[in-house]
Structure 1
Amino acid sequence: MTLVKDKDIKHTLEKMIGWTFINSSIKKVYTFDSYMSSIKFINHLAAESEEENHHPDMAVGWCRIEIVFTSHDQGGVTAACLEMAKKTDTIYLKKLELP
C-alpha cells in the first residue's frame, strides 16, 4: 500500500469529526462514560484491526482513548489508515448505543 498525499489526507479528514493529521499519522481522542465502556470499545476495535490487519497505537486513559493510525512499514498515512479511521468512528457510534 502506498502513502496518501498530505493534501488528500487533509481533504478526507475535513469530512471526519475530530481526526487530526500530525507527524505522519492521524489521530483522534474518544471519550466514554465509564472506564469499562472504553475497554469494550478497545476490544471491538482490536477485533476489527486484526481482521483488517491494520492496527492502531492506542493510549488508554480514564474514560478516554487516543487512537493513532500510521503505516510503520510505509512511514506515513495510507488508504488503510483512513479506512480504519472511518471504521473506528463507526465502532464508537455503535458502542454508544449499547448499555
Structure 2
Amino acid sequence: MNKLSEDEIGNKLKNLNNWEYKDNKLVKEFKFRNFDDSINFLKLIQPVADSLDHHPDVHIYYNRVVIELTTHDAGGITELDFQLAEKIDDLSTHVM
C-alpha cells in the first residue's frame, strides 16, 4: 500500500463520520453506555481487522474507546486505513 498525500487524506476524510487526521493517524473516539459495551465493540472489530490483516491501536477508558489507524509499513495513512475506518463505523452501530 502506498502512503496517501495530505490532499488525498483530506478529501477522503470528508467521506468518514467524525474521524480526524492528527499525528499521522486517523483518530476517532466512540462513546458507549458502559465498559461492557466498550469491550463488545472491540470484539466486533477484531475479526474484521484480522480479515484485513490491519489492526488498530486502541485505548479504552471505561465507556470510551479511542481508535487510531495508520499503516506502519507505509509510514502513514493508506487506503487500508480508510477501509478499516469505514468498517469500524459500521460496527459501532451494533453496540451504540
Asked whether the two chains share a fold, i.e. TM above 0.5, the reply is yes
**Pairing 1:4-43 to 2, within 5 Å after superposition:** 4-43=4-43
Q: Alpha-carbon deviations, 1:19-73, whole Å to 9, x = none?
A: 0001111100000011101100001101110111000000000200000000111
For structure 1, the 5+ residue unaligned runs are: none
| Identity across matched positions, percent | 25
How much does 1:93 deviate? 1.1
Q: Distance in 1 between matches of 2:92 and 2:51?
A: 17
Q: Alpha-carbon deviations, 1:4-28, whole Å to 9, x = none?
A: 1111111111222210001111100
The answer for the alignment partner of 1:44 in structure 2 is 44
* Normalised TM-score (structure 2): 0.95
For structure 2, the 5+ residue unaligned runs are: none
The answer for the alignment partner of 2:73 in structure 1 is 73
* Normalised TM-score (structure 1): 0.92
Q: Distance in 1 between matches of 2:10 and 2:61?
A: 27
**Structure 1 segments of 4 or more deviating over 3 A?**
none
Aligned amino acid, residue 23 of structure 1: D
More divergent stretch after superposition (36-45 vs 3-12): 3-12
How much does 1:78 deviate? 0.4
Query: Helix, strand or coil for the counterpart of 1:48?
Result: helix
Q: How many residues align?
A: 96
How much does 1:76 deviate? 0.1
Query: Helix, strand or coil for the counterpart of 2:93?
Result: helix
